[in-house]
Each structure stands twice: as C-alpha cells, then as structure tokens.
Amino acid sequence: MPTKPKNNIPQSAFIRASKIFASGAKVMAREMASHLNGGKSLGQTRMKQAQDIVNTLGKLKGAAMKAGQLLSIEAASFLDPEVVAVLRQLQDHASFMPLDQVRFILLRQFGRDKFDTIEDISAEPIAAASIGQVHTATIAGTPVAIKIQYPGVAKTIDADLAALKTLIMSLAKMTGRQLDIEPVLDEINKSLKQEVNYLKEATNTELVRQALTASDYVIPRVYHEYTTETVLTESFETGLKVNEWIQGSPSRDEVQHFSQLVIKLMIDEMLLTGVVQTDPNYANFLYRPSSRQLVLLDFGATWTYTQEFRRDMQKLTLALLSGQIDEVMTGIYHRGYLDHKESNETKEHLREILRLLGEVGAAYPQPVALRDDLPHRQLRSAAHSVGRGIRHTSPPKDLVLIGRKLTGMLLLLREINAHVNFDQVRDHLRSINVA
C-alpha cells in the first residue's frame, strides 16, 4: 500500500478555529480602517472582507464552508449584490484534495481488487463542495462520478460551527446588526451530520429516483457495490452548472422554460412525491439546454413529508395565491405554526406578508417579473418584524426546511428575472392529487 499522502485540508479543531478567527481579525481590521476613513470605501471594503472569508472557508471545507454557502443564499436580500456574488464562489470552490490523496482513500475504502477496476480517475475534481469532491472515472468502460468525503469532516462539525458562531456574532456587533444565528447553525449541524453518511445519501437518491419519474428530470443511478459511508459512486450525468448557464446569456424563452422546470420541481417535490431535497445550493443541479432537462444531484439533505402535511400545504398555498388571507391565518393557527399568544403587532406583520404575497397571485397582472415586480422591501421589512417579534412559537422543522428550499430557489429565479404566471402555478397546484 502506498505511503499516506499529505492532507491539505486541516483536520485539527484547534487549527481550523485558529484559521477562522485569523480571517475574522483581518475582516475586523478592514472594517475599522474603513470607518476611520469616514466610510468612503466601505463598499470595496465589504467585498474584500467577503473574499477573505471565502478564501478561508473554501480551504477549510466542512461545516465552515457549508455555513458560508447558506449565508450566500439566506443573506442575499440584505447584502450588497457584489458581496453576494463573492460569497457564491463557495457554491463550487476550487480548493480540493490532490489526486494521490483521492487514490489513497479509494484504495483504503475498497481494497486492491475493487480499486483496480476503477479506471481513468480525473486528475482534478469536476466539483469540490463543502464535505466532499467529485471525480469522473470509468468502471467496466462506463463513465461514473465518484464523490470522496474529505477526511475528518464528521469530527469537526461541532467545533467549526462554534468558532463560526463566535466570529459571526462579533462581526454583527461591529457592523451594528442584530442576528439570531443560533437556529440557523443548529439546523446546519443536524443537516451536516446527516449528509456525512453517504450510505444514507445513496438510499435517498434511490428514493428520489422512484418518486420523480417525469422525463423533465435526470437522476443518477447509484453503484452500491462502490459506495461506502464516505465514498459515493453514481452514473456520470452531463449538464451545465447553473452559474455557467446564466453567464451564457440564455434567451428569454430558455429562461422561461428553465424557470417553469424549477417551479414544477418545487411543486412536485413538496406535493406530488413528498420527497424534498432541502439544500438550496445551486450546485445541486445541472441544466441540459439541448434536451431542456434538469439533472438533480446530491441528496444528502433530504426530507420526507407526510400526506397530511402535503395536503395542508396544498390547501394553504392555493388559498394564499387566491388572496384568501383569513383562511390562511386560520390554517396557520390551527396547525400550530403561530401561537395565539404572540403579540397583535407580530400577527399583523405576518398578515401583511400574506397580504403582499396574496396580491402577487390574485391581483397582479400575469406573468410577474420576480426581480422587478415583487414588493421586496415591504416583504423584507415585515419578515424582519415577525422574526424579532416571535416569543412563544417554535418554528416547525417541516416549515423551516421548506422555507430554506423556497428561499434558495426563488432567489435563483429572481436572479435570472423569471416571469412567473401564478395563474398557471395555481392550476398546476389544483391538478395534483396528493396521495
């Protein structure tokens, strides 16, 4: 067996925390210097800060990088667009393990005989994400994609998130922001501890393949005999990364078709099948312009919803898009999504969110341009008020995960300025028989 190669990704909790805090110190120094300069270069400073964080988290991988990925999606509504663009580099960061380390891991996982049946392993990964990187290869002449987990990721989740929490709260205090980061980090912790088990992901992938059978979707086939808890082998599926496709300036017709596919996927997952991929990272699917299909990838974070919950969501969503706000509020109270003990002010802010969304579906001329037509400022203000006002309600996990998925996908649709006909969305919702 060959000598174990050097690991370029730090595994020590102390070293990882030190790198996170060093990056934070650099960010704080830049922030202070900018303020001492009268804030004249604050925009440029924030971009440099974001790049510092991307460089550090991208090299660390693991929970640190995952948190940065979610920040690029969930904080997009209040960060400068240039800063968000820098943070989104984390969705497909270039830092990766060298090939000799990849080969060593595969040999150790499979043994010599099985390892020797894997040929043409790519010198560099085709994707390098938060907890693993993906290489192309061939098995018996057939192209495959092999995802290899970074060593030590599972052991550093708690320490990474503790260090990140300290850093984020310090930065928030310096910039005058009030953030309740605990629920987000708790959910990242739970999600990552599920995602590091590739055997579980293989099971999830098969579940999704059985549930989403429409020709609009392409889902890889798992090679179970070449899959372990830290290595996942699947059929290799081609397609354009979403960011690459956007940079290619697709036609308005192509943008509309892509948008319809994304909306259909969200509805099919949440209502038709109940099997939802809850990670909103754009890198989790590819697009095939020639066949106009979505290639769905990475099912480490998957949640299955009950028939009762899906029927509730169908009923409430239809009521919302029809502007029936009283019916929606009644349903929210009945299902315990908001405690009656919350303040009247908080209840009114929630009603305002529902009213604004209901108008988009029931009163706006269709189709609606998501970038230009939605009342983004009013929605953001009301949402922040609800978040600050909640005192007695613990958000149900079902809603938290759906909210994260919807937020990520709607931000993508907003970025490409999708024009959505909510009359058609409502018709599609009505057509589904939740079984």
What's the CATH code of the domain at 223? Answer: 3.30.200.20
Q: How far apart are CA 196 and CA 386, in angstroms?
A: 34
Alpha-helical regions (H) of 139-297? 157-174, 182-195, 198-211, 242-247, 252-267
Say what the pLDDT of residue 34 is.
47
Phi and psi (nearest 5°) for 206?
-65, -40
pLDDT tens, 226-263?
A: 999 999 999 999 999 998 999 999 999 999 999 999 99
- One domain, residues 106 and 86: no
Q: Which amino acid is at 178?
A: Q
Is residue 346 included in any domain, yes or no?
yes
pLDDT value of position 378: 92
Residue 420 counted as domain residue: yes
Tell whether 190 is covered by a domain.
no
293 and 324: one domain?
yes
Placement of tokens 């988290």 in the chain: 57
Residue-level pLDDT at 48: 58
Bridge partners for 218 per DSSP = 295
Same domain, residue pair 362 and 380: yes
List the beta bridge partners of residue 369. 419
ω before 367 within 30° of 0 (cis)? yes
Compute the distance between CA of residue 114 and CA of residue 126 in angstroms, rounded to an integer.
23
Which residue bears the tokens 């709260």?
Answer: 169
Range of the domain at 426: 238-435
31 & 134 share domain = no
**pLDDT (0 to 100) of residue 92:** 52
The Cα–Cα gap between 217 and 296 comes to 7
Amino acid type, 245: W
342 and 403 within one domain: yes
Residue type, 170: S
Residue 346, class by beta-carbon neighbours within 10 Å (0-12 exposed, 13-18 middle, 19+ buried)?
buried
Q: Which residues pair with 293 in a beta bridge?
A: 288
Count of beta carbons in the 10 Å neighbourhood of residue 283: 21
Local mean pLDDT, 10-residue blocks, the chain (435 residues): 51 56 50 48 51 54 63 52 54 73 97 98 89 95 97 81 68 56 74 89 93 94 98 97 91 95 93 86 88 95 91 96 96 92 94 95 94 88 84 79 83 90 94 90
Instruction: Write out the H or E segment, with its range, that includes residue 88.
Output: none
- pTM (2 d.p.): 0.77
pLDDT number for residue 432: 93
Tell me how far apart the 2 most distant CA atoms of the chain are, in Å.
68
Helix (H) or strand (E) holding 196: none
Burial class (CB in 10 A: 0-12, 13-18, 19+), 109: middle
Length of the chain: 435
What is d(CA 28, CA 46) in angstroms, rounded to the nearest whole number?
Answer: 10
In a domain, 189, yes or no: no
Same domain for 223 and 243, yes or no, is no
- Tell me if 179 sits within 8 A of 168, measured CB to CB: yes
Task: Kindly state whether residues 80 and 113 are assigned to the same domain.
Answer: no
- Return the closest-CA partner of residue 363 out of 402, 324, 391: 324
pLDDT for the residue numbered 292: 96
Q: Does 30 share its domain with 53?
A: yes
- 422-431 helix and 307-321 helix, angle to the nearest 10 degrees: 150
Residue 88: name the closest of 68, 109, 67 by CA.
68
Q: Where are the beta strands (DSSP E) in 248-382?
A: 275-277, 285-288, 293-296, 302-304, 368-369
Do 131 and 247 share a domain, yes or no?
Answer: no
144 with 219, same domain: the answer is: yes
Residue 2 resides in a domain: no
Q: Residue 237 has which token pair?
A: 């599926």
Tell me if 407 sits within 8 A of 74, measured CB to CB. Answer: yes
The last residue of a domain, from among 206, 235, 264: 235
Looking at the structure, tell me whether residues 407 and 263 fall in a common domain.
yes
Tell me how many domains the chain contains.
3
Tokens standing for residue 67: 């948190």
Q: According to the model, what pLDDT value does residue 25 have? A: 46
Same domain, 137 and 279: no
Q: What CA–CA distance (Å, rounded) separates 278 from 276?
A: 6
**Phi/psi of residue 292, each to 5°?**
55, 50
Residue 187 belongs to a domain: no
Is residue 85 domain-resident?
Answer: yes
* Residue 178 domain-assigned (yes or no): no
